[in-house]
Chain A
Amino acid sequence: MSATRPSQGDGTSGTAILLRFMLRRERRSLPWWLLGIGVLLAYQSAGSQSLYDSPEKLARLRETLGANTATIAMSGPRELLATIGGEVVFEIFAYLAVLVALMNMFLVVRYTRSDEETGRAELIRSARVGRHAPMAAALALAALANLAVGVVAFAAAAGTGLPAGGSVLLAAALAGVGITFAGLTAIAAQVFENPRAVYGAVGLAIGASFLLRALGDVGNGALSWLSPIGWGQRTFPYSGDRWWPLLLPLAAVAVTVPIAVSLQNHRDFGAGLLRSRPGRPTATAALGSPFGLAWRLQRGSVIGWTVGVLLLAVGYGSFGDSVEQFIADNPEVADYFPGGATDIINAYLAFTIAFLALLAAAFGVASCLRARSEETSGRAEPILATATSRSAWLGGHLSVALGGSLLVLVMAGLGEGLSYGLAVSDLGQIPRLIGVALVWTPAVWLVVAVAVFGFGWLPRIAAIIAWILVGYCSVVTLFADSFDLPGWSTNASPFWHTPQAPLESVTAMPLLIVSALTALLVAAGFAGLRRRDLGY
């Protein structure tokens, strides 16, 4: 960290003060990441241990999963399946690793590139603070956060009855993935001028890590060693406890941090190594309307969600064919699917499409709430000072939210239909499953409508209301059957009232009721916006 040129004095002075300040700024968001990671791990650990509670069941599982390429690609190396602890790592580690990597990416970007872009860092750097101090403090913050991840992961694993030694290794492996991506983010933050480009580059690196380990785990394992996620998985916690791969993240940090420091010495404050290209000097005709603006602002996220859900759907669909065999081997798993073991393929398709529909609702809420962030940032003001009515302005954003979530649903059906159809040699599955996915449209739109209503009447808490609803619908949809949730607790979810095609037959009445409610909430939301003050 102290690789500064002597002529510049101490490049890291002020780091300790900055770190304290960053910890203060993080006190609201960091705990949620840790909680999420801990809960996911504990849930998986408890679930796996109760499902596969005998050596015979574990052996059967090893046979099914170990032979299934799709599962290996989505999870991890089959060596992990030796013990129940290893099975937990097999199922959840790759996803936890992606979460931890994202957490590190956001932490480091927030206190380096974002602060520089907004000008906050300028104020800080004008004080007695070294050139490298913000980055040093951000990396120290990331290190502390990864330590906390380790503590939480150990507590979740050991607390649910897994052996202590393997739990320490699992915790260290997760923290290792985190610190590796913190170092990579520090480099990307020097290269690109704006935070979005940094997120894009690091996001790509995370995706590539997942893909490389998937290819490696399916093949001979060589490619997995190119992936930080692969390094973590190949410590084989609970199923061999191999410690030396932990050296790889340390080596990565020893390489990435000096590179980032040296890159920072070669660039101006606020600039990146890659300069941003000039754009259009005049607007195209497409930008000249509220919808045109909303689309322009959100097209990146629409494309991202669409492609992401399509890939996920292709993954789920490709697994569909082997579900039957898998369930025959592991009858307990059937409890997670509506309708139990009968008609298991349809149950599987219904369940996964329901999950993708929840993602469509999450997209719709995020997209609709964009209007709120436009309002609070002051960017809506110059638009609403033109001959653009409030309704037309909100209508622009809402069109993107509704149209985009519809597109995400189509992608869910298309992806599952395509890969499942190829597996069973019946491309008629594509229109069939697109139809199945579209049955969720009223429910998804109702969630968006609640966000619109909140925006119109309770703008300050609209985001909280909408996201709580998404969370509630997710819990009800994903867990109500397996946890036997009481009827009253599920009734408020529009997802609960949507028939789970193709398992259940589609009836019009619930869809019509949900649609009517959607229209009512949207109309009320617009009415609320028309009568309230803007900008607060």
Chain B
Amino acid sequence: MVSGVAYPVPVTSAISVSGLVKTFGSVRALDGLDLEVAAGEVHGFLGPNGSGKTTTIRVLLGLLRADAGSVRLLGGDPWDDAVSLHRRLSYVPGEVTLWPAITGGEVIDLIGKLRGGLDRRRRDDLLERFDLDPSKKARTYSKGNRQKVALVAGLASDAELLLLDEPTSGLDPLMESVFQRCIEEVKREGRTVLLSSHILAEVEALCDRVSIIRLGRTVESGTLTELRHLTRTSISVETKRPLAGLESLPGVFDAILDGTRARFDVDTAHLDETVRWLADLGVRGLTSTPPTLEEMFLRHYGDEVAVSEEKE
């Protein structure tokens, strides 16, 4: 695990946060958070519930004032320059509350106009792709449809930065794939996306880099490939000679030995030497499974899981 978070600072950064602290009364919601998002990338923002993702986004929107640390957004200060910065970004909240008597189409137009303009063709195209009826009053929308209103409002702009706070909660798999295609288009246009999400398949499909936060602090940040190096690969192997001594190799965990067959996890850093050791025993068959994002996620999230692994 990398702490202290050393990653290359991008040439132009859309978002640059370091040492961000935000407290509410006695609760320290953000406790020295760091976040770097390069211009033009789709950045995954991962963390368990209550880890501070939404609070971070609210600071980036200038709705909350940072207690300590530095925050730069599109070269400006999100608190002091809120209005001018907001012309250049669009925001999709995770929990969408709308005005009961106003229709979805009216909300989309209102948000567009208040941001400083709306691309009508793009708006109508998105309504069609998300299969949303804009003439219904908001009180009659389901949760998924309310989410679609916010998504269409957010995606209909040509903002250079999109802040998306769990934007697909409540969407069905079909709409999820529509959303993914939209983000791919945004990326091709060279725009920047900060995507807070719980849906790991979505993050794996869309994101160039990810930051994982926990308890208001960044615990890991980097490309998915880089992060995979920090975790373990699962290997299942059969050799000619018995595998005695495997369990005591450095970096090997959870080994289940059965004579010439074994299943075990190995730290990616020790993968090379472990495979050499296996080769000396004469490999008959070998499958290796790279760590999924989900496994990385669980390692950082679940305290119990992590503790029990360390003990073994």
A-side residues, CB < 8 A to B, are 117, 193-194, 196, 276, 278-283, 287-290, 292-293, 296-297, 377-379, 381-389, 531-536
Contacts and interface: CB of A to CB of B under 8 A. Distances in A.
Nearest to B82: A389
B25 to A, nearest CB: 10
A297 B110 CA distance: 13
B97 A378 contact: yes
A283 B114 CA distance: 12
Interface in B138-173: 139-140, 150, 153, 163
B127 to A, nearest CB: 9
B93 interface: yes
Contacts, number: 114
B61 interface: yes
B83 A387 contact: yes
Interface stretch (B84-92, B242-250, B261-269): B84-92
Interface string B68-111: 00000000000000111011011101011111111101101111
B97 A535 contact: no
A461 to B, nearest CB: 16
Q: What's the dominant secondary structure at chain A's contact region?
A: loop
Given A283-B113, A287-B106, A287-B110, A382 B153 contact: yes
A282 B134 contact: yes
B113 A278 contact: no
A281 B105 CA distance: 5
B137 A279 contact: yes
A283 B91 contact: no
A531 B84 CA distance: 17
A297 B84 CA distance: 26
Contacts of B109: 282-283, 287-288
B93 A381 contact: yes
Nearest to B108: A283
B5 interface: no
Nearest to A390: B82
A378 to B, nearest CB: 5
A536 B109 CA distance: 27
B114 A288 contact: yes
Nearest to A533: B64
A534 B87 CA distance: 19
B24 interface: yes
Contacts of A532: 65
Contact of A387 (B84, B102, B134, B140): B84
B286 to A, nearest CB: 50
Nearest to A391: B83
Interface residues of B, number: 44
A485 to B, nearest CB: 41
Contact of A382 (B64, B93, B100, B135): B93
B63 A281 contact: no
Q: Which of A194, A293, A387 has the most CB of B within 10 A?
A: A387
A536 B137 contact: no
B103 A279 contact: yes
Given A193-B139, A288-B113, 15 more contacts: A117-B139, A279-B103, A280-B106, A281-B134, A283-B108, A283-B110, A290-B114, A297-B99, A381-B58, A381-B61, A383-B114, A385-B63, A386-B86, A388-B83, A534-B64
B82 A382 contact: no
Given A279-B106, A385-B86, A194 B91 contact: no
Contacts of B98: 379
Contact of A194 (B61, B99, B100): B100
A61 B259 CA distance: 111
A533 B105 contact: no
Contacts of B96: 382
A389 B83 contact: yes
B229 interface: no
A387 B103 contact: no
B133 to A, nearest CB: 8
A386 to B, nearest CB: 4
A282 B96 CA distance: 19
B282 interface: no
Contact of A280 (B95, B103, B133): B103
Given A276-B140, A377-B97, A382-B93, A282 B106 contact: yes
Contacts of A378: 93, 95, 97
Contacts of A196: 100-101
Contacts of A534: 58, 63-64
Nearest to A285: B113
B111 A533 contact: no
B136 interface: yes
B290 interface: no
Contacts of B90: 385
A276 B100 CA distance: 12
B115 interface: yes
B63 A384 contact: yes
B116 interface: yes
Contacts of A381: 58, 61, 63, 93
Nearest to A271: B140
B99 A379 contact: yes
